[in-house]
A and B are shown apart, each in its own frame.
Chain A
Amino acid sequence: MLEQQPDASGHFGPYGGRFVPEILMSPLDELEQAYRAARQDPAFQAELDRLLKDYAGRPTPLYHARRLSAKLGGAEIYFKREDLLHTGAHKINNALGQALLARRMGKQRVIAETGAGQHGVATATACALLGLDCVVYMGEEDMRRQRLNVFRMRMLGAKVVGVTNGSRTLKDAISEAMRDWVTNIEDTFYVLGSALGAHPYPMMVRDFHRVIGVEARAQMLAATGRLPDSVFACVGGGSNAIGIFHPFLNDRQVKLVGVEAGGSGNGQGQHAARYQTGGSPGVLHGCFSMLLQNDDGQVSLTHSVSAGLDYAMIGPEHAFLHDEGRAEYVSCTDARALTAAVEISRTEGLIPALESAHAVAEAIDRAASAPGQIFLINLSGRGDKDIDIYREHLPELEQDMVTNDLNYRPA
């Protein structure tokens, strides 16, 4: 059954698994055992539920975007408001879960990687809350793009280590975090932020984000009396997407649409869309999945205006759902994402994270031809962190415009 993946060895169909240096194999076994024990422990679950509710702000609302729906004149659009969570994105669901697990395992030192900085901020926050030491690896290029989040992490007491290897982005930050973990295995817990990496991470990260879909499904039934026709989510590694998709897997009539970063073009290095061009199965960072790589098996550099989608591999469960035909994966360019961000800023007063704007763009494009349907979009994060990037790409907005110009398109 689709929802019963992975198997005992961490495989989602042919994908997933555990491809790491031997030094990490026993620690991953221990992590898996500790995680499974924690999930069976009502006290662990109760503490996580309490923090998600009282601290992070769950449940998040399901919001009916009436003005946007009316304007598009087709599908009724609903947003799952993960952007309202503490720290500004869905990442806190997983960071709290893994940080609680770290404390339970007696690991005082926590490390994490971050791309856009959202997972780094979420982990730094969880560590501050639980009194754990926190080191975050971040590519120097991403540190430049996301200066505010770097400062937030430092203010929260985390150490931010700039990574100068390779492309200086998320991929290199994960490599550096893995090297740290290999070196400090005794006292260190690695809080991985996406549904990627070696087993049990893809399963564990998904489980901690499943709450998104569980809530949304119930909320949708309560609000409309039925399930959505399509669910949209952006996919870098794919944590927010798998979180909202998973509880719908057995609802076969519900279309699941993952939106990858189409970047600035189809050429190698211009995008991060594994199912667009250049993707093939491969192994990166402990996991077998669809990977952007060259003919010689070297991992490709990627590009997206959104740092959180700028990664060469899609999470293994998404690759599985793709092959099973249960979810479809499309891509959205930088330009479409920017346009969609302006659109929902002006019609709904929601400035989305650039990542989430990719999912919004795809839903907007399909809405007109879907009258009578219900679209559910995971608004996985808010745009505060991206204001500098929006300013850079939308210079014409530095001047006042007619605020109700709903037909505005970025130049």
Chain B
Amino acid sequence: MTSITARLNDLRAQKRKALVAYVTAGDPHPDRTVELVLALERGGADIIELGVPFSDPIADGPTIQRGAERALAAGTTMRGVLRIASEIRTHSDVPLVLFTYLNPVLKYGLPALAKDAKASGIDGVLLTDLSVEEADRHLEALRAHDLDTVFLAAPTSSDRRLELVAKYSTGFVYLVSRAGVTGERDTLSGSAAPLVQRMRELTGLPLALGFGISTPQQAGEAAKLADAVVVGSALVRVVEQGGDGLEERLEAFTRGLKEGMK
């Protein structure tokens, strides 16, 4: 059992919901990421999505695009992100999901990445532009190193596609709450609940709900539907504001989200 599954099982046994926090590794600088991840964990994040910046992030809205630009400008590389993961592991057992686009992974070489990621303490991988159809030839390398493979399901996904997403996912399934790119929204989309319901009928895997969740209230609504709530852009925005006491503010913001989920 991977540490992602163990963590989600524990929470489920306690009838609690998981907070999955996204951070772009290397934003604003690779030297800062470890402390920011530890702040997220202190604030109550149960799982960390460690974003590897990509030059052309088509699934992301402006906030995370800017985060990726800052990280790349600061010299962040895939190797650098794996070093960051190793460093996190010297301080914490928080499950880590490597979250990125396919191209940096292909360039690194998938078998090499799977091996190095596992050795660096990564627990799972989510590639936003890898569909289940194209995944077959890529999954073996990841599974060989006991890495969870998380796939996205969307309100537009056909029933047939949801079945495939359920079949290929391990650890949890990431449900995209709405049509659109990542970013903060005022309300939780009406398309979230039907998607959760459709997916529940297909799998017993924990379901995480993300995209557009940025406030404690929205996190609370999402937690009523799903097993885990993913927050990304709102956290990247806190990082973007920077300044003194960033870790404390990030921790406090995360705690607020977690409170909203109770």
Q: How far is the CA of A171 from the CA of B102 in the complex (A)?
A: 17
Is B2 among interface residues, defined by CB-CB distance under 8 A?
no
- Knowing A19-B129, A22-B131, A23-B176, the reply to whether A283 touches B58 (Cβ < 8 A) is no
Q: How far is the CA of A243 from the CA of B72 in the complex (A)?
A: 38
Please pick, from B58, B158, B165, the residue contacting A20 in the complex, using a CB distance under 8 A: B58
Q: How far is the CA of A186 from the CA of B156 in the complex (A)?
A: 9
Which A residues are CB-close (under 8 A) to B176? 21-23
Chain A residues with a Cβ closer than 8 Å to the other chain, count: 39
Q: How far is the CA of A282 from the CA of B107 in the complex (A)?
A: 7
- Knowing A19-B102, A26-B156, the reply to whether A165 touches B65 (Cβ < 8 A) is yes
- Most chain A CB within a 10 A radius of its CB, from B78, B105, B106, B108: B106
Interface string of A292-329 (1 = CB under 8 A from B): 01011111000000000000000000000000000000
Verify A293–B180 contact, CB threshold 8 A.
no
- Knowing A182-B180, A186-B179, A299-B55, the reply to whether A22 touches B105 (Cβ < 8 A) is no
Q: How far is the CA of A286 from the CA of B128 in the complex (A)?
A: 11
Q: How far is the CA of A281 from the CA of B109 in the complex (A)?
A: 11
Which B residues are CB-close (under 8 A) to A186? 179
Chain B residues with a Cβ closer than 8 Å to the other chain, count: 41
Please pick, from B54, B130, B157, the residue contacting A298 in the complex, using a CB distance under 8 A: B54
Verify B106–A281 contact, CB threshold 8 A.
yes
Please pick, from B58, B77, B158, the residue contacting A285 in the complex, using a CB distance under 8 A: B58
| CB contact list, B122-153 vs A, under 8 A | 128-131, 133-134, 151-153
Some 17 contacts from A to B, beta carbons below 8 A apart, are: A18-B133, A19-B134, A22-B157, A23-B152, A24-B156, A25-B157, A25-B161, A26-B158, A166-B55, A166-B69, A185-B156, A286-B58, A293-B107, A296-B78, A296-B79, A297-B108, A298-B55
User: A22-B154, A22-B176, A29-B158 known; 7 other A-B pairs, CB under 8 Å?
Assistant: A17-B134, A21-B128, A22-B157, A23-B59, A175-B57, A179-B61, A179-B181
- Of all A-B residue pairs in the complex, the 10 with the closest CB atoms, nearest first, are A297-B107, A297-B104, A23-B154, A22-B152, A183-B180, A21-B59, A298-B55, A22-B154, A299-B55, A19-B129
